[in-house]
């Protein structure tokens, strides 16, 4: 792929609408040309203990954060016309569709590609196909796993190697 945007969402709880952060990494001709990260005020506005243990974010972190539509207006021009790439894209695409519906926004039918599914097809013999494992097999050391921008960067690296 010549041009794509890797994306990662973190959620405050088990509901897909509860996106609390997003990371986006734009890649053109194999090079990272743009990055974006933002906290998002989640809906519903509560954090499950499990999710906080995973990514470290709490209600205090996002209390003053902008709502999804405000954040997404900054992302739209960055990703225009590009496929979106995510590790386990079913989750990230599901989150995006859920917050679009929640905010009664017209979903533009983004094209998603999945590095998780592609890694399972193209990289044999890994202990698992979690993001950090696949990234390491592609020569990328993921240092801040479950930070949306760090995960998007790892996904971008994987995508450059296997898509």
Write out pLDDT tens, residues 88-135. 999 999 999 999 999 999 999 999 999 999 999 999 999 999 999 999
Write out pLDDT tens, residues 29-38. 999 999 999 9
pLDDT at residue 1 greater than cutoff 90? no
Give the total number of structural domains in the chain.
1
Could you tell me the pLDDT band of residue 144, with boundaries at 50, 70 and 90? very high
- In angstroms, the Cα distances linking 57 to 34, 40, 67, 119, 147 are 24, 11, 16, 28, 9
Domain encompassing residue 126:
3-162
Which residues are bridge partners to 26 per DSSP?
A: 5, 34
The domain that holds 125 is classified in CATH as: 3.30.420.10
Q: Whole-number mean pLDDT of the chain?
A: 97
């Amino acid at each position: 792929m010549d041009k794509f945007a890797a994306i990662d969402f973190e959620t405050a709880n088990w509901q897909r609408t509860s996106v609390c952060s997003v990371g986006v990494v734009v890649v053109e001709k194999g090079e990272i040309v743009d990055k974006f990260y933002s906290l998002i005020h989640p809906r519903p506005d509560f954090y499950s203990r499990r999710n906080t243990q995973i990514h470290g974010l709490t209600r205090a972190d996002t209390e003053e954060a902008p709502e999804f539509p405000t954040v997404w207006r900054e992302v739209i021009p960055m990703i225009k016309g590009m496929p979106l790439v995510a590790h386990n894209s079913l989750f990230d695409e599901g989150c995006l569709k859920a917050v679009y519906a929640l905010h009664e926004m017209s979903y533009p039918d983004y094209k998603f590609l999945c590095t998780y599914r592609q890694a399972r097809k193209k990289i044999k013999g890994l202990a698992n196909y979690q993001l950090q494992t696949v990234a390491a097999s592609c020569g990328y050391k993921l240092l801040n796993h479950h930070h949306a921008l760090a995960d998007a960067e790892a996904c971008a690296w994987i995508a450059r190697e296997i898509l």
